[in-house]
Chains A and B, each alone.
Chain A
Amino acid sequence: MPKKDEKIEYVKGGKRLDGRKVDELRPIKMEVGVLPRADGSAYIEWGQNKIIAGVMGPREALPKHTQNPYKARVSYTYRMATFSVPDRKNPRPARREIEISKVSGEALERAIFLERFPNTTIDVFVEILDSNAGTRVAALVAASLALADAGLPMRDLVSAVGVGKAGGEIILDLNKDEEDAPDAVDIPLAILPRTEEIVLLQMDGLLTKAEWAKSLKLGIEGCKQIHEMQRQALRKKFAEAEAKR
């Protein structure tokens, strides 16, 4: 942690603290179908973040009063492992996790054809094994891969990325050091890449109108990069089987 009056240059000569460019993502690795017992699953490594996602369903929603006869319910569970942060994380779902679960579930709802499965629930579980800023977007990316792996009918994949400001510069995919900057602004952004429809957008901090316009543009470009990686990850398994022949 920097001292109170110490000034850090977050972007120096076009490069950030970890050597990335302003519009560069952290190294990302995605894998699909990692949990045989789940209907669909995915694992993602996004910088230091390590996240596993599993999907069960559609299955009967219980207790019965939670059923909706017009569409399926998406129940999204975002959970951080006790060892995912430097100090021990209390395993009880906290305010932050409950909120993230709610908004992320609503983001996925937009992508799935829920009306095909009345009275059912689609359970999505994401477990944060290791965290270093931007876990909610990484979790959403993994969850959307797991949904596609489960064979659920979807309008589009959900692609997400963090964008924001540190040291007065608009940057893509903030890491923890940048998120802790004194003037930091963090915007988790999730879109349906085909239509560029925004399904999740949160912000803490302050931006000028011009900075906001720049951030959104940068974020959407980042989401498109993520989308291409998601497509490759989904197709990989089948390309491998073909190559073996």
Chain B
Amino acid sequence: MMEKEVEVEVEHKQKKVVVPGDLVTEGRKKLGQNVFTENGKVYSEALGIAYPNSDLASVVAFSGRYIPKRGDLLVGIVTRQTVRGYLADINSIYNSYFADDEVRERLERGSVISAKVSEVNEVNEASLFDIRVFYGGEIISVSPAKVPRIVGKNGSMLSVLKEGTGCNLLVGRNGWVWVKDGDAKKLVAAIRLIEAESHLDNLTVKVEEFLKGKKVK
């Protein structure tokens, strides 16, 4: 599979659940995601986890709508054929257009594709390229904020999931996971476990045990 996720998690022991408007740090630090500054202090703008000891002042959000970024890998569903191309639902604010010469065959409404984001304009509309068509299988919907945990560091969680369930899967950055073959039910259960405990440590180990069928508390 063609996973190229950038790991955004910061590795630091101390964690703090913050809500919008909570103080993240008073010190001068590099600003990461989901924070803003006011009067020289750094505050959280989302419900999530902050790492007080980190050099980077950032918050890992618990939820949020997917906003496309350049280079993201997505799973999409074709919704409509338009002039010389298609519109695909990418679980974001707008549908995205791609030209029909990107694909060899004729697509229909409901066709599953994967794509990369080539460009995002100032109103968050994405243009797609590198379209691939997928046949069969099903799509599992997850919160886009949890996608980095489902992939794991350098794809560690992903390989655990693939091994444990025998599924053929592709995780889109937009929170849609395409699955084919293998034990899909088990995979859904594992993904729900990751979603519920995404803010806790040692998740890969726990999911591994879960997939092996060992009793998980």
Contacts and interface: CB of A to CB of B under 8 A. Distances in A.
Interface of A: 39-40, 57-60, 69, 111, 113, 116-120, 148-157, 192-194, 230-231, 234-235, 238-239, 241-242, 244-245
Contacts of A69: 123
B217 interface: yes
Given A58-B65, A113-B45, A154 B34 contact: no
Given A60-B93, A194-B43, A244-B217, A154 B200 contact: no
A241 B196 contact: yes
21 contacts: A39-B65, A40-B63, A57-B65, A58-B93, A69-B123, A118-B122, A148-B19, A148-B20, A149-B63, A151-B64, A151-B65, A153-B20, A153-B46, A154-B20, A154-B45, A154-B46, A157-B20, A230-B19, A235-B19, A241-B199, A242-B199
Contacts of B64: 150-152
B21 interface: yes
Contacts of B45: 113, 153-155
B129 interface: no
B124 interface: yes
B178 to A, nearest CB: 22
A230 to B, nearest CB: 7
A192 B19 CA distance: 13
B167 interface: no
Interface string B15-31: 00101111000000000
A60 B96 CA distance: 13
Interface of B is mostly: loop
Contacts of A241: 196-197, 199-200
B36 interface: yes
B61 interface: yes
B62 interface: yes
Which 4 pairs of residues, A with B, have the shortest CB-CB distance? Answer: A151-B64, A156-B21, A151-B63, A154-B20
Contacts of A149: 47, 63
B147 interface: no
Interface in B60-87: 61-65, 67
Nearest to B22: A231
B39 to A, nearest CB: 10
B94 interface: yes
A238 B199 contact: yes
A60 B19 contact: no
Given A148-B20, A155-B21, A156-B21, 11 more contacts: A60-B94, A69-B123, A148-B19, A151-B64, A152-B46, A153-B46, A157-B19, A235-B17, A238-B62, A241-B199, A245-B200
A119 B123 contact: yes
Contacts of B21: 154-157, 192-194
A118 B124 CA distance: 8
A232 B61 CA distance: 17
Contact of A231 (B19, B123, B145, B196): B19
A155 B63 CA distance: 16
Contacts of A57: 65
A152 B34 CA distance: 10
A155 B19 contact: no
Contact of A151 (B43, B62, B93, B94): B62
Contacts of B123: 69, 118-119
B51 to A, nearest CB: 15
Contacts of A58: 65, 93
